[in-house]
A = this chain, B = another copy of it.
Amino acid sequence: MTILSPDALEQHLRDIGAARYHNRHPFHRALHDGKLDRTQVQAWALNRYYYQASIPAKDASLLARLPTTDLRREWRRRIEDHDGTEPGTGGVERWLALTDGLGLSRDYVQSLRGTLPATGFAVEAYVHFVRERSILAAIASSLTELFSPTIISERVSGMLRHYDFISEKTLAYFTPRLTQAPRDSDFALAYVREHARTAERQAEVIGALEFKCAVLWSMLDALQHAYMEGHPPPGVFRGRETPEAFAS
């Protein structure tokens, strides 16, 4: 095992993003190229809501383990970004503006009923990873934000151009992310460059970013399989809202 310089480590992480970030996924490309129908876009937004809604819990479990005021203040801001400062604000709420705009009811979306099981397995794997691994690995797993401004720009311009059921208002989620994501990833990258100084710690960081890329990729794999290739598993959203599960 070789110890990388901070610059070489950063380059390695950027190479992982170039190879594995989900902007390369066929479902993302179809989404921003206008190749999906309304049901497929609904399915994407519905499943992605599970991820959005879990991010504050993920961040809170890391917040609970951070050792200093400075680190906690930094991480607390991320929860504030997602949960807002008062009712009706924050990223999770703005994601609901998107599912509203796509004609899905809030009760249905928030129940997570109708999401693909594979979505939940991937999201919960991420939540557990951040809860259970080292603080360094947990912070490194957020580094996909390094690559998100590109995907957001592609997504917003492509979706506005191609889908008449999408408006700037329904895409309100993405605008603040264009400034929040670089700020967050600058912090995480500096932390990782400073704290991953042995080969073992660097392997942890690299593994964490690969893991996170796999979480996002597998969510799009599941959407592609179910909604582009026509193999929805039992019980999921099929263009109409599925009924209440038995007795729950």
Among the listed B12, B118, B125, B235, which residue makes an inter-chain contact with A221, where contact means beta carbons less than 8 Å apart? B118
By secondary structure, the A interface counts as: helix
Which residues of chain B have C-beta atoms less than 8 A from A116's C-beta?
Answer: 218
| Measured CA separation A20–B233 after assembly (Å) | 9
How many protomers of this protein does the assembly include?
Answer: 2
Q: Is A26 an interface residue (CB 8 A)?
A: yes
Among the listed B19, B203, B215, which residue makes an inter-chain contact with A117, where contact means beta carbons less than 8 Å apart? B215
Which residues of chain B have C-beta atoms less than 8 A from A125's C-beta?
Answer: 120-121, 124-125
Which residues of chain B have C-beta atoms less than 8 A from A215's C-beta?
Answer: 117, 121
User: What are 23 sample pairs from A and B whose C-beta atoms fall under 8 A apart?
Assistant: A1-B247, A12-B246, A20-B235, A117-B122, A117-B217, A117-B218, A118-B122, A118-B218, A120-B125, A121-B122, A124-B125, A125-B125, A206-B246, A207-B245, A207-B246, A213-B234, A214-B234, A217-B234, A218-B233, A221-B231, A224-B225, A225-B229, A229-B229
